[in-house]
Amino acid sequence: MCVSLKTKLLITITSVLLFLLLLFAPNTYSTLLPVFQVTEKPSVISKGAYGNTVTIDLSFGREDVETLVEGLKAPYPHFFISIEWIERSEPIIKIMQDKKIPISLLGKEGLLYIEDRSLFKKEIDRFEEAIGVKPDWFRTSDYEFPVELQKDAWKEEVNLLGSTLVLGNTVPKLTKGDILTVPLHQEERIDTIQLAKYLRSQPFVSIEQNIFNMKMKTKSYPE
């Protein structure tokens, strides 16, 4: 009987201590998000804090893009690629994967994701089928992110990335945290030779380093 009471008392004390530990422990890890979800509610990131990042919006091009990709040296720019370009450019995608160049999904105009609520999920599924993994990041082609799209992306655990500046005919002056976008489209396009020179001209950091000031493990793509 005495042993039983001691056991019950020990269990009670342990339970109380565990409760107090959970109650008053720092909240550092309680809000960790699954996989790579970097916000605690649906939202869009458009600026970091710890450097400058180059992202490339790609929907058109072949030979010049292949030459650009083959010549890139780490740290790499982050490519946002339309699903249509991905599906018709398998050899170049393979080069990107072999070099571990970060690839995410470039969508369509933001309004279309209101008109067709299934569009986002369809594009994510097509990306995963073509690349082998779900994208960490998503961006619309016009940098508009309706609330409906934000909710759909949150549900799919995909992060939304806007842009601080877009590279045009003149090179913008960057400030710490800026996320620079380079367009490679049929009607809006930067010369890839000049782009390659620009990428070598100054240090850039990954999206994750810019936001968190930490290096993330390079994603591996399925063979």
Determine the pLDDT at residue 222.
55
Please tell me the distance from the alpha carbon of residue 66 to that of residue 82, in angstroms, as a whole number: 16
Q: Whole-model pTM? A: 0.80
In a domain, 220, yes or no: no
In the chain, where do the E strands start and end? 44-45, 53-58, 78-82, 103-106, 137-139, 159-161, 165-166, 179-184
Tokens of 42: 């649906």
In a domain, 121, yes or no: yes
Determine the pLDDT at residue 168.
87
Tokens of 29: 């890890």
CA 156 distance to own-chain centroid:
13
In a domain, 222, yes or no: no
What is the edge-to-edge ordering of all strands in the sheet holding 165-166?
A: 44-45, 159-161, 137-139, 103-106, 78-82, 53-58, 179-184, 165-166
Task: Name the H helices within 25-146.
Answer: 63-71, 83-88, 90-99, 112-115, 119-131
Determine the pLDDT at residue 170.
87
Domain total of the chain: 1
DSSP 97: H
Q: What is the CATH number of the domain that holds 118?
A: 3.20.20.370
Sequence-distant (≥ 6) Cβ neighbours of residue 104 within 8 angstroms: 78, 79, 80, 81, 135, 136, 137, 138, 139, 161
Sequence-distant (≥ 6) Cβ neighbours of residue 85 within 8 angstroms: 58, 59, 60
Determine the pLDDT at residue 19.
45
In a domain, 102, yes or no: yes
In a domain, 26, yes or no: no
Amino acid at 171: V
In a domain, 19, yes or no: no
Domain with 84, as residue range(s), is 41-212
**Which pLDDT tens digits describe the chain residue by residue (223 residues)?**
444 554 444 445 545 444 444 344 333 322 223 345 666 778 899 999 999 999 999 999 999 999 999 999 999 999 999 999 999 999 999 999 999 999 999 999 999 999 999 999 999 999 999 999 999 999 999 999 999 999 999 999 999 999 999 998 888 899 999 999 999 999 999 999 999 999 999 899 999 999 998 765 555 545 5
Q: Which of 81, 86, 127, 129 is nearest to 108 (CA)?
A: 81
Report the DSSP pairing between strands 159-161 and 179-184.
Answer: unpaired
In a domain, 127, yes or no: yes
